[in-house]
Every structure is written in C-alpha cells, then in structure tokens.
A and B are shown apart, each in its own frame.
Chain A
C-alpha cells in the first residue's frame, strides 16, 4: 500500500488498545528503511523534514527526521476537534476503500490461553494518619 500511495509521512497510533503491542509502526519503518519518531507530542514540518518532539523515559527530546518517515502519536499530540452532526453525516457518503488482509499460514506468535489476573480486594479503612503509619509499620512497609 505504501508503494502504491507513495506518502511522505505515515502517521500511526503508538499501540492498539486491545493487544497493547506497540510494535507495528517501528517494524514498518524498519522494513521501509525510513526513519522513525515514536510517541510524538508535537510535529512541525518543513520542506524535507519533520521536527518531532517525542516523549522519552526522562522527559522529551526533539528529533529532526527527513521525509519520508513514520511517526507514532502519543496522548498529548492533539485535541480532536468537535465535529458537528452534519459533518458526520456528510462523512458517511465519502468513498470507503476496503482492502483484503493478506494472512500468513501460521501466526508466529500464537495466543494459547486467556485468563483473568488475580484481583485485588478492598482493604482496610483507617481514620487517621497515625493509624496509617502504625499499619504500614506493622507490615514492614515503613522503617
């Protein structure tokens, strides 16, 4: 699809809300041999490059990457604009192209089982800070 459309930028979400993998965009960038900027909180385009502010373990960094490139979005990139109802109805009449998925024979990572994690239950209510300190000390959580 990338070869057909020849885009300058591929913008993707950072992780799917179901499998939480956080892999697809980085793998795509590698296979295209394009530079990447993941977890973007701000993007500025110039003629031939993008300056991307991205979230890191220690704060932020700004990467300048030449186009074409792959960028994934983080939470604070943008506030989606409000779309009035006529706009939503209008959007419905736009052409929608459906592509067939190319599947491989056997998945390279296969899910065997789904289980519910151990749940936590509500503990004890304490009335005062002193009582809290005493409880935490008795559990060895405070020196």
Chain B
C-alpha cells in the first residue's frame, strides 16, 4: 500500500507525517507551499512551491494525476482539506473517509459521527481512498533522515477567481494544534473585551484563542475561532473555558483535551460535568487574576 499525504504548508507537513508514521507504511508528502519539509521521514517530498493555495477546482484538476498512482491519499481535516479533498475524490471516483481519529489497519479506521457522541469503525471495500484525519489522534512524528525533493509543475485549470482573502494575523499558535487553548462565550460582551480578557490569558500561556458559536454569531469573536461540531476540533493539553455553559456541539469539539478547566458563574452549567477543574467565579475577576499571576 502506498500513501500520499497532502500538506498545504510546512507546518501541515509535520501533522501529516504524524499520520504517515501511525499508518506503519512508508509515505510521500506533497507540499503545496513553503520550503519542503525534508526531515520528517517521508520517502520523498513532492514540492509545488506555490505562492498561495489555489481554489478547489484548480487544486483538484491539477493534483488528479499526482494522486492517481497512490492507494491512499490523506490530508488534515481542516477547512481547506474538507474543501479540496472530496472534490479530488469525486474527480477520481474514489470513496472517501472523513475525520479519522484512529488507524486500525490499512482498510479499517475509526471516525466519530453525530458530533462525536458515537465512534464508528469503518471498513473500506475499494482498493483506493481519500482520507482526512484529525491531528489530535496522532502524536508528534519522529524526525527522520533527509527526504529527496521532487519538483512538479502541474497544469492549473479552473474557473474560480479569488477576489480577496484574510490571512491569519499570526503571533498566536494554530487553534487546531495548539498545546493550550483559552475559549470564551457570549458573556464576554464585545470584541474588545473578548480580546483583552480571553486573548490576554491566552498570550500569558502562549496559547490559542477559541470561542463558542454564540460568541461568534453575536460578533464578539471571529468566525475562524469557533470551536465545536461545525467549527474547529481541538485537543490541547490544557483547555480553559470561560463563560461557556457547554452545549453538546461545543463539547464535541473539546472533549479530547487532556485537561479541561471551566470558569463560570453558574455552578450547574453542563461544562462542569466534563471539566477536570471547575471554578465557580465571575470570569471578569478570575481571568485577569489568572493572567496576572501567570505573567509573574
């Protein structure tokens, strides 16, 4: 069985190598942007060296020929992976298995359904497949020897046109792979307060910022910060939930975190049922105090 991992950038390549190593098969990495990650134990790194990521129609048409010889083609289950990979699967008419959390063998995988309330073991009845996986299930890869780099220049065909794009502001780690995540809910009132209180604690911990759907819908937090079933799935070592009651959809996105801390004024909030540590307190007092004491 040969495996190709599609990495959108160098950081993504590390997460991809974690999945590749967990598969116990040799693997190649196809890296779209950035300098090729040659230290991750891949058989080879196919580098496209693009200035930016193309829209899905260009992506699928160009990568079809590169993907076709492989038996399994996998990518991280990020928004870009979810956008592009099923299109590639549709072009090649291969089946696809989304959001894998565990590899049983080369034909059998574990994936959650119904917002993570049930785990299914699924079996592939086809020689080829596309896969997306959640980074949380796969520990950091061992660094390997130098991989050879192959440059390819596929033909780019499509009809979409990107008019504008917002890029991550940087400074904070990526939410999906961060070791520490501090999230806030609607009690944070407005964007400025959210950034000051939640962002302040996240920065003191060197962590990422997350938010509930309610906070995003009411304009307090940016949409890419949403954590939950339809947002990002996180699994940090430490997750701090401030002013979050704990809807099923939100908890679906955080329950693989190692330690969950809940800070909420309502001691009966469902979040306390899954939190390792609960502090019944006003977040406007507790978070600044925590931030200040951690900065010392």
**B-binding residues in A (CB < 8 A):** 14-15, 17-31, 35-39, 41, 51, 55-66, 74-76, 106-117, 120-130, 132-133, 135-136, 139, 141-142
Picked from A35, A107, A112, the residue with its CB within 8 Å of the CB of B160 is A35
Indicate whether B116 reaches chain A with its CB closer than 8 angstroms: yes
B114 A111 Cβ-Cβ under 8 A: no
Picked from A20, A25, A76, A125, the residue with its CB within 8 Å of the CB of B115 is A20
Picked from B57, B89, B126, B162, the residue with its CB within 8 Å of the CB of A61 is B162
In the bound assembly, the distance between CA atoms of A117 and B113 in angstroms comes to 11
In the bound assembly, the distance between CA atoms of A25 and B113 in angstroms comes to 18
Q: Mark B111-137, 1 if CB is under 8 A from A, else 0.
A: 011111111111111100100000000
In the bound assembly, the distance between CA atoms of A36 and B159 in angstroms comes to 10
Indicate whether B289 reaches chain A with its CB closer than 8 angstroms: yes
A34 to chain B minimum Cβ distance, whole angstroms, is 8
A36 B162 Cβ-Cβ under 8 A: no
Interface size on B, residues (CB 8 A): 83
Knowing A109-B124, A111-B121 touch, does A59 contact B222 (C-beta < 8 A)? Answer: yes
Knowing A112-B121, A132-B290 touch, does A123 contact B112 (C-beta < 8 A)? Answer: no
A20 B260 Cβ-Cβ under 8 A: no
Residue of A nearest to B78 (CB): A57
A109 to chain B minimum Cβ distance, whole angstroms, is 5
* A29, A41, A116, A123 interface centre (most CB from chain B within 10 Å): A123
A59 to chain B minimum Cβ distance, whole angstroms, is 3
Knowing A26-B83, A109-B122, A126-B279 touch, does A59 contact B223 (C-beta < 8 A)? Answer: yes
Return 14 A-B CB contacts under 8 Å, by A number. Answer: A20-B112, A20-B113, A25-B86, A29-B90, A30-B87, A30-B88, A35-B55, A37-B160, A57-B224, A58-B167, A58-B224, A112-B123, A124-B276, A141-B237
Indicate whether B1 reaches chain A with its CB closer than 8 angstroms: no
- Within B140-172, the residues touching A (CB, 8 Å) are 158-168
A109 B278 Cβ-Cβ under 8 A: no
B161 A133 Cβ-Cβ under 8 A: no
Q: What does DSSP make chain A's interface, helix, strand, loop or mixed?
A: mixed
Residue of B nearest to A25 (CB): B86
Segment with Cβ contacts to A, from B22-30, B40-48, B95-103, B182-190: B95-103
Residues of B within 8 A of A41 (CB): 223
A61 B224 Cβ-Cβ under 8 A: no
Segment with Cβ contacts to A, from B31-39, B65-73, B192-200, B267-275: B267-275
Residues of B within 8 A of A117 (CB): 112, 116-119, 255
Residue of A nearest to B273 (CB): A122
**A-binding residues in B (CB < 8 A):** 55-57, 60, 78-80, 82-91, 93, 95-99, 108, 112-126, 129, 158-168, 205, 213, 216-217, 222-224, 229-230, 237-238, 255, 258-261, 267, 272-281, 286, 289-290, 293-294
In the bound assembly, the distance between CA atoms of A115 and B26 in angstroms comes to 30
Residues of B within 8 A of A121 (CB): 273-274
Residues of B within 8 A of A57 (CB): 78-80, 168, 224
A106 to chain B minimum Cβ distance, whole angstroms, is 6
In the bound assembly, the distance between CA atoms of A126 and B264 in angstroms comes to 12
In the bound assembly, the distance between CA atoms of A21 and B90 in angstroms comes to 14
A120 to chain B minimum Cβ distance, whole angstroms, is 4
A38 B97 Cβ-Cβ under 8 A: no
Given contacts A36-B83, A109-B125, 7 further A-B contacts (CB under 8 A): A27-B86, A35-B57, A59-B168, A112-B120, A115-B120, A117-B117, A126-B277
Picked from A64, A107, A111, the residue with its CB within 8 Å of the CB of B161 is A64
In the bound assembly, the distance between CA atoms of A17 and B95 in angstroms comes to 20
In the bound assembly, the distance between CA atoms of A56 and B281 in angstroms comes to 34
A104 to chain B minimum Cβ distance, whole angstroms, is 10
